């Protein structure tokens, strides 16, 4: 049995404290669910499940809240997952598994995140809240994400100039896509936002003056914390066959663990596994969407997996848009669905704890 993506939508991605600062997860995601169903011409009653990635929220099964807020049937229980940045893609892979197993025919899958409304968290007895949760059981081998990116840059010899150049190019591509109106078909208007709020004219001179975060990692070559939601509609072959419009086959997908304290390289093995499983090579890809949590991580993954940079993030990446953690993988899938009109396309992302996920779609 095959699984297909027949619709993919997202909100704009807005920096923390921006246009979405007062919106709950369900206020972000429910309009996207409605847009998916409208695009596919399906009624809410057709949905069997909602699988939602969320990292920073207070819990309480946000997938269920989104399902109810979107007017889906009460029988849709909702499944919430947390695999850090990889969760948005993993939700889609779980939806694919459900469809292929015959457990569902129509699944809404993706992620939603609000940095603006993240609750304050602290360990018992601690004087201050913590910003990052532990990602390994070994405090001496659990660096912060920026520190891990800086260490990767040193180990691979990827200097600040290369990282800044990647960031400048990401913003330039994103601005060009915005000006051409290429994103109009994928963004659902929420709180009046129809463009990603962080994209700007980043010049080499501005990048050179950006504050240092850790080592060669700066505020210019690291993605900004953001709010947003991104979801796709995963359906069976039977449903795809009777719905008008595009249907992209999910040709493969895998999540693999790697070195826990070096998360930036984790997608390389996942990309290799998913391409081999589909009988394809990196050169066969028409395009790829690779997460840009840090420029060094994107460069390392593209080079490590043998991807053609000229086919990667053609409309800009997270450095130019922002990083709504639990939704970021799903943003990649939405961008891929919007732009893939021939052949095969890849979405890949790294996650804290040394996790990498890759998804392959075929037009």
Positions marked catalytic = 85, 323
Is the Cα dihedral 101, 106, 110, 113 positive or negative?
negative
Token couple for 347: 């979405």
CA distances from 129 to 7, 28, 59, 125, 264 (A): 39, 26, 17, 10, 26
Q: Residue 12 and residue 35: Cα distance in Å, rounded?
A: 14
Q: Is 64 helix (H, G, I), strand (E, B) or coil?
A: helix
Q: Residue 142 and residue 80: Cα distance in Å, rounded?
A: 25
Q: Residue 129 and residue 287: Cα distance in Å, rounded?
A: 41
Residue with tokens 């990602």: 135
Token couple for 1: 């049995």
Nearest to residue 327, comparing CAs of 120, 117, 89, 116?
89
Residue 5, beta-bridge partner list = 234, 248
How many CB atoms neighbour CB 242 within 10 A? 8
Q: Residue 153 and residue 148: Cα distance in Å, rounded?
A: 9
Q: Residue 88 and residue 98: Cα distance in Å, rounded?
A: 16
Nearest to residue 223, comparing CAs of 88, 44, 349?
349
Q: Residue 209 and residue 84: Cα distance in Å, rounded?
A: 30
Residue 301, beta-bridge partner list = none
Q: State the greatest distance between any 2 C-alpha atoms of the chain, in Å, as a whole number.
A: 58
Distance of CA 127 to the CA centre of its chain: 33
């Amino acid at each position: 049995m095959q699984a297909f993506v027949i619709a993919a939508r997202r909100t704009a991605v807005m920096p923390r404290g921006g246009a979405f600062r007062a919106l709950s997860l369900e206020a972000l995601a429910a309009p996207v669910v409605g847009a998916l169903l409208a695009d596919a011409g399906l009624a809410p009653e057709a949905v069997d499940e909602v699988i939602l990635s969320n990292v920073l929220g207070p819990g309480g099964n946000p997938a269920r809240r989104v399902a109810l807020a979107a007017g889906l049937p009460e029988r849709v229980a909702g499944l919430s997952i947390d695999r850090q940045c990889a969760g948005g893609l993993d939700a889609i892979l779980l939806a694919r598994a459900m469809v292929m197993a015959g457990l569902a025919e129509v699944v809404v899958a993706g992620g939603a995140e609000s940095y603006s409304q993240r609750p304050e968290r602290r360990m018992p007895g601690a004087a201050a809240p913590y910003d990052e949760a532990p990602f390994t059981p070994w405090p001496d081998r659990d660096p912060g994400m920026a520190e891990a990116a800086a260490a990767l840059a040193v180990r691979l010899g990827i200097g600040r100039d290369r990282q800044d150049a990647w960031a400048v190019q990401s913003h330039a591509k994103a601005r060009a896509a915005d000006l051409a109106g290429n994103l109009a078909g994928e963004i659902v208007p929420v709180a009046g936002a129809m463009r990603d709020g962080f994209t700007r004219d980043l010049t080499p001179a501005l990048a050179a003056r950006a504050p240092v975060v850790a080592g060669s990692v700066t505020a210019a070559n690291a993605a900004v914390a953001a709010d947003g939601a991104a979801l796709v509609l995963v359906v069976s072959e039977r449903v795809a066959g009777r719905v008008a419009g595009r249907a992209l086959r999910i040709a493969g997908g895998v999540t693999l663990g790697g070195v826990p304290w070096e998360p930036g390289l984790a997608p390389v093995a996942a990309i290799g596994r998913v391409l081999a499983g589909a009988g394809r090579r990196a050169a066969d890809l028409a395009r790829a969407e690779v997460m840009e949590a840090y420029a060094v991580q994107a460069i390392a993954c593209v080079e490590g997996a043998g991807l053609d940079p000229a086919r990667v993030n053609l409309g800009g990446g997270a450095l130019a848009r922002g990083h709504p953690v639990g939704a970021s993988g799903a943003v990649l899938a939405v961008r891929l669905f919007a732009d893939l009109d021939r052949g095969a396309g890849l979405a890949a992302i790294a996650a804290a704890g040394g996790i990498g996920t890759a998804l392959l779609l075929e037009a």
